[in-house]
């Protein structure tokens, strides 16, 4: 069985909230929602006027889906305080739609005796299409002991927990650096590129004058 209340020490990043399926949206629910919020928009309750502007029927207020997500969070949080909530609506809700609300823990951190849990929550219709998506930040006690200390006026437990977001990128590896020790000079080797030597221009050699050939003596005749 899960603990009666949600404590920070029992939560891990990646934990999934139990999915919550809602009954199909009907016209009676839309009328009750309009009365509860004091918002009587004709497009939500007047079929004739909705069809007059080209809509197939009345349309459900988008905030009804947000209310379903709020129920998902409060049922799971069990004593946690909602510090921040934001949502984005991606598709219209119609009578007959059946929503399934889901969520998971996306981040957690603690500092100075305050502990927070962040949730990603969303709702899908019967076709598996995303209808609304939101983000909720909860403040919770670290443990039962931490809550007891708060109730009796004692200082809270101080446990520092760094953010553990699912989207956090791993830190880059440190770049090794070489530092010169004191009293020793740093010797750095530089690569010097030698320029190619220019070829020396060779002087043309003077042509040597050829000596004239010696005249050959006529051969003597034998008697």
Q: Which of 12-26, 92-106, 207-221 comes out lowest in average pLDDT?
A: 207-221
Contact 130, 90 (CB under 8 A): yes
- pTM of the model as a whole: 0.69
Q: pLDDT tens-digit profile of 64-115?
A: 999 999 999 999 998 899 999 999 999 999 999 999 999 999 999 999 999 9
Q: Which contiguous run of DSSP H or E holds residue 34?
A: helix 27-37
Helices (H), 38-97: 42-45, 47-52, 62-77
Cα 167 to Cα 24: distance, rounded to the nearest angstrom = 34
Q: Which two tokens stand for residue 31?
A: 């009328």
Model confidence band, residue 203 (pLDDT cutoffs 50, 70, 90): low
Q: For the chain, what are the domain ranges? A: 1-24+60-167, 26-59
Residue 119 has a pLDDT of 97
Q: What is the percent of the chain with per-residue pLDDT over 90, rounded to a whole number?
A: 64
1-24+60-167 topology per CATH: Thiol Ester Dehydrase; Chain A (3.10.129)
Cα radius of gyration rounded to whole Å, the chain: 43
- Segment 121-139 shows an average pLDDT of 96
pLDDT digits (tens, 9 = 90+) for 143-188: 999 999 999 999 999 999 988 776 544 444 444 443 434 444 343 3
């Amino acid at each position: 069985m899960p603990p009666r209340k949600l404590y920070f020490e029992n939560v891990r990043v990646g934990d999934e909230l139990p999915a919550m399926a809602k009954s199909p949206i009907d016209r009676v629910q839309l009328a009750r929602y309009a009365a509860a919020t004091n918002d009587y928009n004709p497009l939500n309750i007047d079929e004739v006027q909705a069809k007059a502007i080209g809509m197939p029927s009345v349309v459900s207020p988008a905030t009804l889906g947000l209310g379903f997500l709020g129920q998902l969070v409060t049922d799971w949080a069990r004593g946690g305080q909602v510090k921040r909530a934001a949502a984005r609506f991606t598709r219209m809700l119609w009578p007959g739609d059946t929503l399934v609300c889901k969520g998971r823990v996306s981040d957690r951190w603690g500092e100075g005796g305050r502990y927070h849990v962040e949730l990603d929550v969303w709702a899908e219709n019967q076709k598996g299409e995303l209808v609304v998506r939101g983000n909720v930040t909860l403040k919770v006690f670290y443990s039962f002991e931490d809550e007891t200390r708060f109730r009796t006026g004692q200082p809270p437990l101080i446990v520092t927990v760094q953010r553990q977001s699912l989207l956090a990128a791993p830190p880059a590896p440190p770049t090794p650096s070489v530092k010169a020790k004191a009293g020793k000079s740093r010797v750095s080797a530089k690569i010097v590129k030698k320029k190619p030597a220019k070829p020396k221009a060779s002087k043309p050699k003077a042509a040597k004058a050829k000596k004239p050939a010696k005249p050959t003596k006529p051969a003597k005749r034998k008697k």
